Amino acid sequence: MAPKRPKGAGAFPKAVESPAPSLPDPAELYAALDLGTNSCRMLIAQPKGSQFHVVDSFSKSVQLGAGLEASGRLSRASISRTVQALRICKSKLDRHQVTRMRLVATEACRRALNARDFIRLVRRETGLRLEIIEPIEEARLAVVSCAPLVSTKTEQLLVVDIGGGSTELVWIDLSSVPRAERPRAIMRLHAGFHDTGSPFPTAKVVDWISVPLGVATLKDQFTDVEDDAARFALMSWFFEEHLANFSPYSNIQAREGFQIIGTSGTVTTVAASFLGLRRYDRNKVDGLRMTSDQIDRVIHDYLSLGPEGRRADPRIGRDRHALIMSGAAILQALMRVWPTDRLSVADRGLREGLLYAQMSADGVLEDGPF
């Protein structure tokens, strides 16, 4: 017996094919916002070849983590400053009609007891949806952003991201990757630090660590020490103590084929001071290589200036002078443990990593897939 048909149905309904997923428009704009302990920064960019072209940007010192060390909470004043900055970011996103974006918050929001209330307030006041990312993703995105600076001669790579509230270190073994593929192998880490069965040559992450000390949080630890040089020395040794659980600290020594890439305001400020730049120039700083001795000379110059001299030094800048010595203490500790003549200065970081990761996942960068 033939199966019964529904009343009024002349035939069984035909299967409807699902529409093919639409491919991202390579001309579409992407945005990445990084809300850290000290700064709120955003980039709006368009894919261009294997890189991207920045269309608009925003950077403001909001000091979101001010007082967090003592109270465990984001203060009303810090929240107010940050919301004002985020309103400007929202206006830029609307003006450029950006729909593909990631807006992330890091250490201050990871630690604050009232972080969830803050995220809800931002959503209500600005319409922006912030997400708090874990340290491992922050480290991974910092690494990805530095891929263009990786030398094809590098076999062991240390990427250091000195933030306001934390410092991420990632040690990567590239020795099994063909030289020409090494920068691209770093880019592919946006998918994760562990081998995902990729058919491409793989960069091996030996170890990574997120130290809960950045330029703001380390400075707050030693506000009771009045002597400038003593405070600096204590900060440097205190930071080094926090590296004890990082496996390359004890069993991997710097050697031929070793490269450090430093990404942070501290590293770019030290580079600008080394070059004697009275007006910052990203083209001269990004990718600059410095030796341990050159970095050491700049830091000693900072110490000889003292707090007042640093405040007046145009190479350091008004937004950076209060935090430069805690950042320099971190940098000196790293140079003490892993002396090198190949520290590459990166004027790039989490925002660039967010953009690369989004564009790579969408397949709008050339020379992919990453």
Q: Quick one: how many helices (H) and strands (E) in the chain?
A: 14, 11
CA distance 80 to 37: 14
Other beta carbons less than 10 A from residue 84's beta carbon: 14
**Residue 330: which of 209, 225, 226 has the closest Cα?**
209
User: Which of 23-27, 62-66, 355-359 is predicted with the least confidence, judged by mean pLDDT?
Assistant: 23-27
Residue-wise pLDDT for 284-307, tens only, equals: 999 999 998 999 999 999 999 999
Q: ∠ CA(140), CA(215), CA(247), 5° rounding? A: 50
Give 54-103 pLDDT, tens digit per residue.
Answer: 999 999 999 999 988 889 999 999 999 999 999 999 999 999 999 999 99
Residue 254 has pLDDT above 90, yes or no: no
pTM score, whole prediction: 0.84
Instruction: Give me the residues paired with residue 53 across strands.
Output: 46
Instruction: Please write the tens of the pLDDT for every residue from 219-231.
Output: 989 989 999 999 9
Cα gap 272→279, rounded to integer Å: 9
DSSP string, 100-168: EEEEEE-HHHHH-TTHHHHHHHHHHHH----EEPPHHHHHHHHHHHTGGG--TT-SEEEEEEE-SS-EE
CA-to-CA distance for 251 and 245, rounded, in angstroms? 11
Residue 23's pLDDT is 57
- Decide if 114 contacts 132 (C-beta within 8 A): no
In the predicted structure, residue 346 carries a pLDDT above the cut 90: yes
DSSP per-residue codes, 303-317:
HHHHHHHHHH-TTT-
- What is the reported pLDDT for 4? 41
Q: Between 333 and 189, whose confidence is greater?
A: 333
Query: How confident is the model at residue 11, as a pLDDT?
Result: 40
Give, as one character, the DSSP assignment of residue 347.
S
Provide the 3-class DSSP secondary structure of residue 171. Answer: strand
pLDDT value of residue 8: 41
